[in-house]
């Protein structure tokens, strides 16, 4: 972080300390403790054991940082899927508070390998909705029949 | 090779980037980095033995699968990987001193390697005229990356300014930083604090570079880079049939 | 193990005023987009959002003014999908409704 104006901009978030062993100056970053992680996955069982197919990004870390996860999932699968190869469970049930079966839950965006491109017609609608302050109206359309 | 006939500025830019990659390097590009993605795939196709790490979690993916989008978060840089090695691993790799090249970009940059990715304009940080996307880790990676490469597909005085007001990150004094534009290459060597004009591309002149740069260029004579070779052009074409390379230009 | 399956409506009600929410995925990829859109139909306010690279899921909550702070390394939708319109609307100019804390 040396050389970044972000240090001075966020004195409550970054602090410089001396390493207690070497005396070297180190930048420490305040940790965040999210109340919930909201994570969309391809597969979860009814207990909240979740598999992420393809790129996982930092969702593994987020789930641990919060310790409380709300999952939406493309589909509910049998627990045997996790038992086949436990390593592939990205998020274990003990960190999960709720599982919602929500196919298409990442639309109008992308969810590998289910849908691979952004729906740009919907994206234009979203951009317009942001501009006009009509995001809830856009939400009603996207969630029709799901609430 | 003739400019405008055999190659354009996109291919010259890509060739200049490819030539920065050396055997054995651990090379990283981030998200929204379609240009370095094509560059690194082409370098693989040219037989350079380096390690390709990126945010899709994939390590050394199957580079012959054509990218279909300028997004660099798709499964395109994941499928065919030999291992997963995600962003948290990548940050640790660079922090340990094992990273070699990071391809990063900017909204604005100045002669001392101050890089704006956060905000532009306005009275202060919280009231900006343009809220940028943020550094995406550049502030963490630049201080521990021996050869940061800033790739910027525009060369004008709005981008290359006399002074960056709010620096998301700054070139580290003890490391090298290279700035590649569609016209030329600037370098800041380890120990130095300012960019020097290093070389220009075959289709431009020092005068044109000076006109389009917001800081003073002292160099009066610099080498002209060789145009892309037939092999470089063939590799670019092979790995990128959908011409994602053109997206950022 | 306890069964956790619930309805979208009930899961949305778990989110209360002032909470810090980590939003999964990246840019336009595997975001909990419909969940975030669901939150815009509920009342939760003074939310904070965080992520290494929050995207559309967090942008939605900035757009409606429900999120007043975002902690992030990169906040955008990437390339063809452009900059994050809700985040920019909330954070730019004289009267921001949300603030940024950038973590690198």
Cα–Cα distance, C60 to C39 (Å, whole number):
9
Cα dist from B72 to A125, B56, B218, C25, C89, whole Å: 24, 8, 37, 13, 25
State phi, psi for A98 to the nearest 5 degrees: -150, 145
Measured from the Cβ of residue B44, the count of other Cβ atoms closer than 10 Å reads 21
DSSP B73: S
- A contact residues 53-72, partner C, Cβ 8 Å cutoff: 55, 57-59, 61-62, 65-66, 70-72
Chain C interface residues (partner B, CB cutoff 8 A):
26-29, 52-53, 72-76, 78-81, 83-84, 87-88, 91-94, 96, 99-100, 102, 104
DSSP B248: G
- Residues of chain A contacting residue B86, judged by C-beta atoms under 8 Å apart: 56-58
In the block, tokens 């021996």 appear at B146
Q: What is the pLDDT of residue B139?
A: 96
Who's near A33: CB < 8 A, 6+ residues apart?
A65, A66, C20
Q: Is B2 among the domain residues?
A: no
Average pLDDT, chain A: 97
Measured from the Cβ of residue A128, the count of other Cβ atoms closer than 10 Å reads 12
Q: Is B80 among the domain residues?
A: yes
Cα–Cα distance, C29 to A39 (Å, whole number):
11
CA distance B222 to chain C (A): 34
DSSP B245: G
Q: What is the mean pLDDT of residues C75-96?
A: 96
Segment B169-212, tens digit of pLDDT: 999 999 999 999 999 999 999 999 999 999 999 999 999 999 99
Q: Between chains, do A109 and C55 touch, taking CB under 8 Å as contact? A: yes
Q: Residue B150 sits in a domain of what CATH number?
A: 3.40.1080.10
Q: What is the pLDDT of residue C43?
A: 87
A48, two tokens: 């909240």
In the block, tokens 């990548």 appear at B90
Contact C59, C31 (CB under 8 A): no
- Residues of chain C contacting residue A97, judged by C-beta atoms under 8 Å apart: 4, 14
Average pLDDT, chain B: 97
Low-confidence ranges of chain B (pLDDT < 50): none
Domain locations along chain C: 16-102
Domain locations along chain A: 1-30, 37-116, 117-147
Q: Shortest CB distance from A5 goes to which of B58, B88, B167?
A: B167
For residue A118, how many C-alpha atoms fall within 13 Å in the half-sphere facing its CB? 26
Percent of chain C with pLDDT over 90: 96
Q: What is the pLDDT of residue C104?
A: 80
Q: Between chains, do B135 and C73 touch, taking CB under 8 Å as contact? A: yes
Contact B181, B155 (CB under 8 A): yes
Select from C51, C56, C100 the residue whose CB has the most chain B CBs within 10 Å, as the one to mutate to test that interface: C100
Cα–Cα distance, B30 to A9 (Å, whole number):
24
Q: Between chains, do B136 and C73 touch, taking CB under 8 Å as contact? A: yes
Low-confidence ranges of chain A (pLDDT < 50): none
Select from C14, C18, C37 the residue whose CB has the most chain A CBs within 10 Å, as the one to mutate to test that interface: C37
Who's near A1: CB < 8 A, 6+ residues apart?
A7, A14, A27, A29, B139, B140, B143, C104
All chains having 3 or more CB pairs closer than 8 angstroms to chain A = B, C
């Amino acid at each position: 972080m040396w050389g970044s104006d972000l240090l001075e901009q966020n004195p409550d978030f970054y602090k410089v300390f001396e390493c207690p062993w070497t005396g070297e100056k180190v930048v420490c970053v305040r940790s965040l403790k999210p109340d919930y992680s909201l994570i969309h996955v391809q597969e979860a069982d009814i207990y909240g054991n979740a598999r992420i197919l393809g790129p996982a990004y930092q969702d593994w870390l987020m789930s641990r940082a919060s310790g409380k996860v709300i999952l939406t999932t493309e589909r509910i699968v049998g627990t045997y899927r996790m038992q086949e190869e436990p390593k592939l469970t990205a998020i274990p049930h003990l960190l999960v508070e709720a599982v919602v079966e929500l196919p298409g839950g990442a639309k109008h965006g992308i969810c590998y390998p289910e849908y691979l491109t952004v729906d740009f017609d919907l994206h234009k609608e979203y951009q317009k909705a942001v501009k006009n302050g009509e995001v809830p109206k856009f939400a009603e359309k996207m969630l029709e029949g799901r609430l | 090779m003739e400019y405008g006939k055999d190659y354009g500025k996109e291919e010259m830019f890509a060739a200049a980037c490819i030539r920065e990659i050396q055997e054995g390097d651990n090379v990283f590009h981030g998200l929204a980095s379609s240009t370095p993605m094509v560059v690194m795939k082409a370098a693989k196709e040219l037989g350079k033995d380096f390690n390709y790490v990126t945010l899709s979690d994939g390590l050394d993916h199957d580079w012959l699968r054509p990218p279909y989008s300028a997004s660099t978060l798709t499964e395109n840089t994941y499928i065919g990987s030999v291992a997963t090695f995600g962003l948290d691993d990548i940050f640790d790799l660079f922090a340990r001193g094992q990273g070699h090249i990071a391809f990063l970009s900017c909204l604005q940059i100045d002669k001392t390697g101050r890089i704006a990715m956060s905000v532009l304009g306005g009275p202060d940080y919280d009231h900006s005229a343009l809220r940028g996307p943020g550094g995406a880790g550049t502030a963490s990676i630049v201080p521990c990356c021996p050869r940061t490469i800033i790739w910027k597909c525009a060369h004008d005085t709005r981008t290359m300014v006399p002074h960056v007001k709010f620096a998301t990150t700054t070139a580290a004094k003890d490391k090298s930083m290279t700035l590649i534009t569609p016209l030329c290459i600037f370098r800041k060597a380890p120990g130095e604090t300012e960019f020097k004009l290093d070389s220009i591309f075959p289709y431009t002149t020092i005068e044109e570079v000076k006109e389009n740069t917001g800081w003073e260029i002292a160099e009066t004579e610099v080498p002209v880079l060789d145009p892309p070779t037939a092999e470089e052009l063939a590799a670019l074409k092979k790995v990128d049939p959908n011409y994602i390379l053109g997206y950022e230009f | 193990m306890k069964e956790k399956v619930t309805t979208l409506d009930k899961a949305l009600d778990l989110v209360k005023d002032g909470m810090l929410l980590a939003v999964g995925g990246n840019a336009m990829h595997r975001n909990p987009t419909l969940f975030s859109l669901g939150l815009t139909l509920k009342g939760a306010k003074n939310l904070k959002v965080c992520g290494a690279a929050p995207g559309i899921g967090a942008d939605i909550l900035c757009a409606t003014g429900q999120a007043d702070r975002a902690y992030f390394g990169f906040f955008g939708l990437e390339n063809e999908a452009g900059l994050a319109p809700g985040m920019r609307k909330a954070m730019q100019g004289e009267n921001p409704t949300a603030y940024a804390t950038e973590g690198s």
